[in-house]
Amino acid sequence: MSIQHQATQLLDFNQKFDVDLLDNVVGCGLGGAVQGPEQQVCQQILTKLKEHPEAWTRVDMILEFSQSQSTKFYALGILQDVIKSRWKALSREQCEGIKTYIVGLIIKLSSDSTSIGHELLYLNKLNAILVQIVKHEWPRNWPSFISDIVGASKTNESLCQNNLAILKILSEEIFDFSAGVMTQTKAKHLKDTMCDDFPQIFELCFFVMHNSQSVSLVHETLETLQRFITWMPLGYIFRTKLVPTLIYKFLNVPEFRNVTLRCLTEVASITISREEEESAELFCTLFSLTLSQLKQMLPLTTNIKEAYKNGRDAEQAFILNLSMFLCTYLKVHGSLLESKSDMHDPLLEALHFLVLISEVEEKEIFKICLEYWSTLTFELYLEKPFPSDVGQQQLSRRPLYYPVLTKVRLIMISNMAKPEEVVVVENEAGEVVRETMVDTDAVSLYKTMRATLVYLTHLDWYDTERIMTEKLESQVNGTEWSWKNLNRLCWAIGSISGATVEENEKRFLVTVIKELLGMVEMKRGKDNKAIIASNIMYIVGQYPRFLRAHWKFLKTVVKKLFEFMHELHDGVQDMACDTFIKIAQKCRRHFVLVQPGEVMPYIEEILNTISTIICDLQPQQVHTFYEAVGYMISAQTDTTVMERLIEKYFQLPNSVWDTIIQQATKDVSVLQERETAKHLSNILKTNIAGCGAIGHAYVTQLGRIYLDMLNIYKVLSENISTVVAAHGEQAAKQPQLVAMRAVKQDVLRVISTWISKSHDHKMVLDNFIPPFLDAVLADYHRNVPTAREPIVLSALATTIDHLGDCITVHVPAIFEAVFECTLEMINKDFEEYPEHRTNFFNMLQAVTEHCFSAFLQMPPLQFKLIMDSIIWAFKHTMRNVAETGLDILLTMLKNVETTEAAQGFYSTYYLLILQHIFSVVTDSSHTADLFMHATILARLFFIVEEGLVTCVLYEGDSTVTPGTSNQVFVAEYVGHLLGQAYPHLQEQQRRVLVEGFFTLDTNVSGLRDHLRDFLVQIREVAGEDTADLYLEERQRQLQEAAEEKRRQQSAVPGVLNPHELPDEMES
């Protein structure tokens, strides 16, 4: 008999359960030993078995007789699901039976220290299941849980170790991970109960720490204490012998020092108010005692960088934990140490430790230290500069830190991270290459380091200049020469732009550039020259203030960049173009003025030699170059001169364009050639770059090519349609058609880029929109789905966003052409045509925001299609589409409120929207949008509560008593809706939930948390017993919130209806 046939017997609960057979099925279905149909059948049977309501009754038999660890874990998964979702539906006898069984199994396994090692994963899973049971049973049905577990712990060290692990998990579940897993009220009660029972737990931990000789047990105790410190009352930390015990008994013991240091870090993170003098003294004592022990373990003369490099894992972890302790303590209590003169020496010693640790070549440790240095230097920078009054000067914190800050400057300069602008780097093989991917972590690190170095420079410019100058001299004379050292120094130099007065900056920068240019001449080898060149380009690009003030230097730099644009070494041209565009953006005005000693603006010289400058650049680099020159032209204020410059600027691409147009006029088939399409696309991309930089004035160039562009668009569209019609939709992926489609996309980008930059809406609407829509809409509508360009929708969205309600008159035509045909493409599933989806809903969002009146003119059936598409959007699994759908809906609700159509809208769509929003709220794939769901629900409940919905929402519903208010009806409707969808919810649960929706409709954050409680409750079958949900207490909280809401409303005259005012307010 095949295993599939045998496996079906597991689903028959009328016969004896075959554990051996289950072992085989689990081995087949989950073990991967057998592939193919048999494995799929086994997986299906295991899924059905797990979903069977009586499957949990087989768990004890499986755990006792199974020979497979995988099967045992499968059985525990069944039990865990029952405990999480159906615990309250079980009888009290069944609950007690499961609890007793799990406790017995844990005691049996954990009482024997030898078996723990073999069964650790299994035991950990059992511990997790017990904690789930405890969360249901304690304290109401198991009030003695803490005393039981503490009492049992004193009988056996192995059992005690596991019990502490259980308490650690329970603490994390209640204090760290309760949000969204338990209701707010239940989580609060469990936290309070844990604090009430804590003396017993603390006594146990203390007993173990002082009496046990077991390393593993003491280690577990310290780890458990670490979790407790974050919430235990302060008295247990400082009014007991906990801190001295940690410091004197465990900190200097190698086996315990890491976990002890983590405990002390948790203590250090506790904040106190300035008024708590007693606590302040205790924190000072903690610091002094810890530091004295640390100095014995790690003398101040230790080379921590080398010690870390040569240390074992535990020793390296100690350095990491030490950095965490020092940074945490100094961030939270540093000001306390500053305020006490007797604590200055310990403070400086701690800072010395941090400086040594900051030199360790480990990124994570460096980032921990960097965060502290960044915070400290920012705080010191915010202080006023030294006042002249000596008495005030003594109050400054800066002198205390000066000796340390010099060392920190050196560390920042020597270890500066790579900026995003740098594209020429040294790879792991030691080769100089162009970086292809941006390292976001490195960029983030650079930004923090840059900010820190800027603060340090403000605090003492001359010290920063001294360090940088000395390190540059070491590069020149070769004593510290290396690519890495030079790069880091130059990145640091480029990072302090603007951090000192202009005169200092000028003197320093001239020295730096002079030395680096000398190095270019002195060093041999292309790689060396490329590295130095890239550093020069980076530095000059970072100092626009200096360049603006020194025209000759600026001109020299630009000429040097033009030279680098002919350098074929990988990455140098890219960096030259990127630096050029940065300079053009920051110094644009200087290029269109006639500078002293010049006969014409430098922009003229650039345009005269543009073909020579760009002859060695790749197309993408040419586009960057054109964008940079475009920024320069945009600075010209004389319209006539600007038009002449633009004509000259586009002379090169226009000559190629004119040639293609002339050829196409004679023989239109030339446009079908792949090479022609490539040229057209390149020219259009140049126009896009120029348009984005020049802005509205680009209209002179656009007017020259506009109609030709649209004609090319139409011709290419017809060619694509013809080929696709003849050869099927797959033909759209042929290289020739892909090239044609690229040209169409670039045409649309040129137009949408200019529209987004234009400021004359009337000119755009009168002269450019009609031919644009004529060329684009009909083509999109008649094309097969595969050949429809998604960029059409984004171009329309951009147009509507920029022109606003001016384009409302064209919206019906736009919708007629693109709406239904696009909707048909995307409403079959949530995956196909992702770009069309995103752009379609962006367009719909633009119309909703700017042209809402167009919706009011639509026939009801077409508007229903709009609403259906919005609902379809926020149900999407694509996160960006779902978010856009919710944004559209919220905008729709706000816009419709002030229109005459509001009541008709509410009558037709209010209940539909409410129903669908609740459906996505309860969908686990949409939990990230919970705040937006709460915002929309708050709006829906608010407009009903405030009487803004005057139409009868239950029109035609004979089950509702005539005259019932909309608020009462909506409350009953939502309660009924929840009851139908989740029949396991009790009447009282539904009542409290609905009451909360209305009470919290002006408090979105509160409503979001209320929804989280709702999501917790629908995952659990509560049964008749709802005591542990604390519904009465939650109801009382909601009543208090309602009273507070009413008090706030009554404080503003006119907000409350006169009939809602209490008697004493009437006069």
Q: Which two tokens stand for residue 366?
A: 């460096």
Helix (H, G, I), strand (E, B) or coil at 14: coil
* CA angle in degrees (0–180, nearest 5) for 400-406-408: 100
pLDDT confidence of residue 537? 85
* 713-734 confidence digits (pLDDT tens): 999 998 888 888 888 878 878 8
User: What mean pLDDT is predicted for residues 798-822?
Assistant: 94
Instruction: Count CB neighbours of 963 within 10 A.
Output: 7
What Rg do the C-alpha atoms of the chain give, in angstroms? 36
pLDDT confidence of residue 212? 92
pLDDT confidence of residue 275? 58
- d(CA 795, CA 391) in angstroms, rounded, equals 65
pLDDT confidence of residue 257? 96
Contact 32, 11 (CB under 8 A): no
Confidence of residue 390 (pLDDT cuts 50, 70, 90): very low
Question: For residue 700, what are the CA distances in angstroms to 158, 516, 648, 649, 763?
Answer: 85, 43, 12, 12, 13
Question: Please, which residues have CB within 8 angstroms of residue 383's CB and are 6 or more apart in sequence?
Answer: 396, 397, 398
Closest residue by Cα to residue 632 from 651, 606, 595: 606
* 424-459 confidence digits (pLDDT tens): 556 555 555 555 556 678 888 999 999 999 999 999
pLDDT confidence of residue 437? 54
Q: For residue 1061, is pLDDT > 60?
A: no
* 730-782 confidence digits (pLDDT tens): 887 888 888 999 999 999 999 999 999 999 999 999 999 999 999 999 999 98
Q: For residue 680, is pLDDT > 80?
A: yes
* 830-862 confidence digits (pLDDT tens): 888 899 999 999 999 999 999 999 999 999 999
Task: Transcribe 211-253 into DSSP letters.
Answer: H---HHHHHHHHHHHHHHHTTS-HHHHHSSSHHHIIIIIITTS
- d(CA 86, CA 1021) in angstroms, rounded, equals 5
Q: For residue 800, is pLDDT > 90?
A: yes
User: What mean pLDDT is predicted for residues 156-168?
Assistant: 94
pLDDT confidence of residue 1026? 47
User: What mean pLDDT is predicted for residues 500-512?
Assistant: 92
Q: Residue 760: left (phi > 0), alpha (psi -120 to 50), or beta?
A: beta
Q: For residue 543, is pLDDT > 50?
A: yes
pLDDT confidence of residue 780? 93
User: What mean pLDDT is predicted for residues 209-221?
Assistant: 94
* 268-303 confidence digits (pLDDT tens): 999 887 656 677 888 999 999 999 999 999 999 999
- d(CA 765, CA 803) in angstroms, rounded, equals 8
pLDDT confidence of residue 1022? 56
Angle between helices 699-727 and 769-782 (to 10 degrees): 10
- pTM of the entire structure? 0.82
DSSP strand E in 123-222: where?
none
- d(CA 131, CA 138) in angstroms, rounded, equals 10
User: What mean pLDDT is predicted for residues 1009-1036?
Assistant: 69
Confidence of residue 1034 (pLDDT cuts 50, 70, 90): low
- d(CA 699, CA 31) in angstroms, rounded, equals 67
Helix (H, G, I), strand (E, B) or coil at 339: coil
Q: For residue 480, is pLDDT > 50?
A: yes
The overall average pLDDT reported for the chain is 89
pLDDT confidence of residue 1046? 63
Closest residue by Cα to residue 9 from 984, 19, 848, 707: 19
Alpha helices in 311-384 (DSSP H): 313-338, 344-358, 363-382
% of the chain exceeding 70 in pLDDT: 92
Strand partners, 921: none
At 872, the amino acid letter reads W
Confidence of residue 995 (pLDDT cuts 50, 70, 90): very high
pLDDT confidence of residue 365? 96
* 650-659 confidence digits (pLDDT tens): 999 999 999 9
Q: For residue 1055, is pLDDT > 60?
A: no
% of the chain exceeding 90 in pLDDT: 67
Strand partners, 182: 179
Strands 432-434 and 424-426: antiparallel
pLDDT confidence of residue 395? 56
At 991, the amino acid letter reads R
Q: What are phi and psi of 493, to 5 degrees?
A: -60, -45
pLDDT confidence of residue 724? 83
User: What mean pLDDT is predicted for residues 945-951?
Assistant: 93
* 621-643 confidence digits (pLDDT tens): 999 999 999 999 999 999 999 99
- d(CA 787, CA 720) in angstroms, rounded, equals 7
Confidence of residue 878 (pLDDT cuts 50, 70, 90): confident
Burial 97-121 (b: 16+ CB within 10 A, else e): ebbeebbebbeebbbebeebeebee
Q: For residue 1056, is pLDDT > 80?
A: no
User: What mean pLDDT is predicted for residues 990-1004?
Assistant: 92
